[in-house]
Structure 1
Amino acid sequence: MAHILRSKFVHLSLKYANPNALRVPLNYQRLCFHTSTILDVMGKELSMPSLSPTMESGTIVKWLKKEGDKIEPSDAIAEIQTDKAIVTMEFDDEGVMAKIIVPEGTKDIKVGTLIALTVEADEDWKTVEMPAGLAEASSAASSSIEASPPVTKAEPPSGQQNIAMPALSPTMTTGTIVKWLKQEGDEIQPGDALADIQTDKAVMSFELEEEGVFAKILIPEGSQVQVGQLIAVMVEKGMDWKKAVIPTESAISAAPSPTKPTAPANAKPSNGQMYGLAVKKLLEEYGLSSGTIKGTGRTNRLLKSDVLAYIQIHDVKKITPKSAPPPEVVKTPSLEEVSVPSDRSSPYEDIEISNIRAVIAKRLGESKRTIPHSYAVMDINIDKLLELRGKLKTEDISVSVNDFITKAVAHALVECPDINTLYQNEQIVRVPKVDVSIAVATKNGLITPIVFDTATKSLTDISKNIRELAEKARKGQLKPHEFQGGTFTISNLGMFGIKEFSAIINPPQTAILAVGAGREELDLSLMKVTKMSVKLSYDRRAIDEDQAANFLAILKATLEDPIFLTAGRVQALRYKRDAY
């Protein structure tokens, strides 16, 4: 029986930073408008991942999803035989399996080879369109793997191991080498981290399972590299690492910038060429004829990218519509002419969005668009909490207001199990354990490390746990299991003076608590009191208004009389009995 393993290299997928705070997007979304009556969908490409540092090709043992099947985050989609074991390949996004390109049993599929196409859940998977140039390749792969072009890469000599850029998530196609953690000549033990690599989801450590000597760095730090591209060389212990054979294949250079397509010099008009509305509009705006541009789409279809490439290469200018008279030219100085002397550069700066921030933006947008958010706000008197915190500090017990809130939230979730739920596969899943995610801001974006079994931990344990996780998060040292999962999230902006805000739910969680700053007010008896606003954002599909109100009422009662929270693990006894 094959051992189903989850590779330690298929880990950092910021599933919405919870993982759910960061959803991993695939990079190939595109809609193509055609002249046919059907809107063909350009699928998202799913490539053969590198499931071990030495894996160069793999065999698809079995597809676990069929064409048309819905895919949820963390679903297993295929069993793949690597050079070490049979590994279950998981999918970190959601969608529909649209097209299986490489059938079961196909051997020696190179890492990075297109093996399937998926589409969004609301798209018609039956109309998925094969990427240009791959239709013939996929049919050849289905009939025989021997039909593919011969591999030109030479095998490494005995005792030498060429290390390729691994696919650290199923959706990863490229990675950036942030830092090499080993130098040439260093010994490597199993489990040693070789490099920090930024994927489409996070910055993570790339570890090796073999021992040897690090012989040669092929790709410098800061380079973006395709999955499967050689990045380093390792040799066995006892060998002279300085005599390692450097691979000569052209793929070892740093990721090249895309080359511009060359337009045909003597392209003849093609009366039968097809194109869509977007292409037609471009041709009219620039006064071009479709016959002068060669189409690269399926069945010689003229694509928008073909027209844009032709315009750029030939420096074609827009034409003025014949129906409208040319506008009167009024010389208006540009912003640069007004504010920037000619001998100075522009004051504007384009800041490239990192892969992590792009994923965060996509996941948060999808959450707001697809989840019916409802909100409930409550003010809490925290005078007793602050007083108790001060007493504990005199006893050298340092705990923050956020630690009290985390402990109180865990207690409220035990009392209100309807809030401690996930919304998956169109159904509500009640989770037996309370795992509270704490939102932490880092230079790369938001991430939510998890305080596991929060209800069973004491206040001081929670405080220590949060400090350690926050420090690791800011240094980019979190392990996948430390931020993947969670049943409820707390986002606290009180330390920044924010009075109140609305947090966005991290799917598949059904609720998140936004915590504001404490503020002094006068009560009905004109006495000063310190109040704190908390706002619960909850998924209306899974949680009713009365359930949200009950949760906040318990949270309020607990924080306004917090001595109970310092009693350790009393309430954990009931929690364990109910959970197990």
Structure 2
Amino acid sequence: MPTEILMPALSPTMEEGTLAKWLVKEGDTVSSGDVMCEIETDKATMEFEAVDEGVIGKILIQEGTEGVKVNSPIAVLLEDGESADDIGDVSAPKEPASSNAAPAEASDKTAPAAGYGRGETEASPAPAAPQGADGKRIFASPLARRIAADKGLDLSQIKGSGPRGRIVKADVEGLSKSDTPAKAAEATATSEAPKAAAPAVAAGPSTDAVLKMYEGRDYEEIKLDGMRKTIAGRLTEAKQTIPHFYLRRDIHLDALMAFRSQLNKQLEPRGVKLSVNDFIIKACALALQQVPEANAVWAGDRMLKLTPSDVAVAVAIEGGLFTPVLKDAEMKSLSALSAEMKDLATRARDRKLAPHEYQGGSFAISNLGMFGIDNFDAVINPPHGAILAVGAGVKKPVVNAEGEISVATVMSVTLSVDHRVIDGALGAQLLSAIKDNLEAPMTMLA
């Protein structure tokens, strides 16, 4: 039976994408791991790999097409013995695209397809198409047949979740030979269970209403790209569904500035120059360890308390922003964090980050100090528990410990907190730990 290749979901939030370029044409033979096309998401351009072997029977979506919905058919794959005449029988499926192909980050040519290593998928040919007790062919993808053969599974006892009941990788990879048909059916039913509907996002005035409002005025209409649409949707959802509260502190930076200057002189032969932001990342990562109850995210009907400090940092790019994540930041030196942040920021601006590099984390930092902003309130990026908004360090008159007025470099910060995850006192402890780390920077090296 011809197999529909579906538009993949290249990230958890992706709903549609642009089919930027086909790298195969009708009649081409593809094998597991072959790159078939390039797909643009709201964040990056990704390559899309084949999992099944076969011949491209028909291309359904032409390159350059925008707004292609996830799980909609983009091409048809023919197996041995099938021809273009069989394509007319294929109907649009509702199942996930992962049964047909897998995404790979554009610069990573050795990434495994759909979670199954290339060495494994290519080690042996797929067994011949099996038949049931009634002599009828059992439709299963080549990869599913290979996995079933390796595990000794009876495909006639497995219900397929692919198009027209086709057995795919997801139906067999979690089963063993001892599993009963009932368990196989249960596993399939679980994989097919619909996801909970996302909360409805209230809309503002309609497009027609806004256009009428500005009728007769001179304006330029700007088309929204995928990134702008995603930012608008996620931040609207964040402000409507996350109960934000805000905590503010002033942080004295004079000790940090002196310490940073000293370190940079010593690191100059290595070509390393630490920024204030590098210290802020380290201070937040350590604070999440010092106040571990605040190192958590909201997961719908539960919270997830993270062990490592995975800190996201907002990076402005043309038309939007990325929040690349520095994982295990509490374990890394300042110079390592600095180098990693520079690399992530550079690739973010070139839109070359893979999804795993900008998804996850429990905490984020948004620093607008370099733009002269004194203070601001940042919107939490779900499912994070908090985000730190960082303003500029400016010289201000302060009252010192002796009660005298002196001049100090002061940085204003605001911690936006998800009240479902972090209560007021806990948020105050987290912000106090961040302040203490920054005002005694040498302790961060201990």
User: What is the deviation of 1:357?
Assistant: 2.1
Aligned to 1:542: 421
Say which is worse superposed, 458-467 or 393-402, in terms of deviation. Answer: 393-402
TM-score by length of 1: 0.46
Deviations 1:265-321 (A, max 9, x none): xxxxxxxxxxxxxxxxxxxxxxxxxxxxxxxxxxxxxxxxxxxxxxxxxxxxxxxxx
Higher helix proportion (structure 1 or 2): 2
User: What is the deviation of 1:393?
Assistant: 2.4
Query: How has the CA–CA distance of structure 1 residues 372 and 169 changed in structure 2, closer, same or farther, with 3 Å as cutoff?
Result: closer
Q: For the residues of structure 2 that align with 1:178 and 1:169, how far apart are their CA atoms?
A: 17
Aligned to 1:220: 63
> What SS class does the counterpart of residue 521 from structure 1 fall into?
strand
Identity %: 41
Gaps of 5+ in 2: 91-214
Deviations 1:516-574 (A, max 9, x none): 11111122344332111111111223323222222222211211121223x2xx5xxxx
Q: For the residues of structure 2 that align with 1:521 and 1:464, how far apart are their CA atoms?
A: 32
Aligned to 1:56: 3
| Counterpart contact for 1:219–1:232, Cα < 8 Å | no
Question: Which of 26, 37, 44 is the equivalent residue of 1:203?
Answer: 44
Query: How has the CA–CA distance of structure 1 residues 394 and 362 changed in structure 2, closer, same or farther, with 3 Å as cutoff?
Result: same
Q: For the residues of structure 2 that align with 1:391 and 1:534, how far apart are their CA atoms?
A: 25
Q: For the residues of structure 2 that align with 1:427 and 1:229, how far apart are their CA atoms?
A: 35
Q: For the residues of structure 1 that align with 2:371 and 2:78, how far apart are their CA atoms?
A: 48
Q: For the residues of structure 2 that align with 1:245 and 1:459, how far apart are their CA atoms?
A: 59
User: What is the deviation of 1:215?
Assistant: 12
Question: Which of 309, 328, 331 is the equivalent residue of 1:456?
Answer: 331
> What SS class does the counterpart of residue 294 from structure 2 fall into?
coil
Aligned to 2:103: none
Aligned to 2:251: 380
Structure 1 residue 415 corresponds to structure 2 residue 258:
no
Query: How has the CA–CA distance of structure 1 residues 468 and 216 changed in structure 2, closer, same or farther, with 3 Å as cutoff?
Result: farther
Q: For the residues of structure 1 that align with 2:34 and 2:376, how far apart are their CA atoms?
A: 43
Aligned to 1:362: 233
Q: For the residues of structure 2 that align with 1:172 and 1:560, how far apart are their CA atoms?
A: 41
Aligned to 1:477: 352
User: What is the deviation of 1:404?
Assistant: 0.3
The one-letter code matched in structure 2 to 1:56 is T
Q: For the residues of structure 2 that align with 1:220 and 1:247, how far apart are their CA atoms?
A: 24
Aligned to 2:18: 176
Question: Which of 280, 284, 301 is the equivalent residue of 1:405?
Answer: 280
> What SS class does the counterpart of residue 398 from structure 1 fall into?
coil
The one-letter code matched in structure 1 to 2:239 is K
Q: For the residues of structure 1 that align with 2:370 and 2:31, how far apart are their CA atoms?
A: 43
Query: How has the CA–CA distance of structure 1 residues 473 and 235 changed in structure 2, closer, same or farther, with 3 Å as cutoff?
Result: farther
Q: For the residues of structure 1 that align with 2:14 and 2:302, how far apart are their CA atoms?
A: 29
Aligned to 1:563: 442
| Counterpart contact for 1:522–1:528, Cα < 8 Å | yes
> What SS class does the counterpart of residue 251 from structure 2 fall into?
strand
Aligned to 1:501: 376
The one-letter code matched in structure 1 to 2:388 is L
Query: How has the CA–CA distance of structure 1 residues 188 and 457 changed in structure 2, closer, same or farther, with 3 Å as cutoff?
Result: farther
The one-letter code matched in structure 1 to 2:426 is Q
The one-letter code matched in structure 2 to 1:560 is E
Q: For the residues of structure 2 that align with 1:424 and 1:393, how far apart are their CA atoms?
A: 41
Query: How has the CA–CA distance of structure 1 residues 228 and 457 changed in structure 2, closer, same or farther, with 3 Å as cutoff?
Result: same
Q: For the residues of structure 1 that align with 2:300 and 2:228, how far apart are their CA atoms?
A: 27
Query: How has the CA–CA distance of structure 1 residues 554 and 353 changed in structure 2, closer, same or farther, with 3 Å as cutoff?
Result: same
| Counterpart contact for 2:58–2:76, Cα < 8 Å | yes
User: What is the deviation of 1:173?
Assistant: 6.2
Higher alpha-carbon Rg: 1
RMSD: 3.8
How many residue pairs get matched?
A: 308
User: What is the deviation of 1:473?
Assistant: 1.8
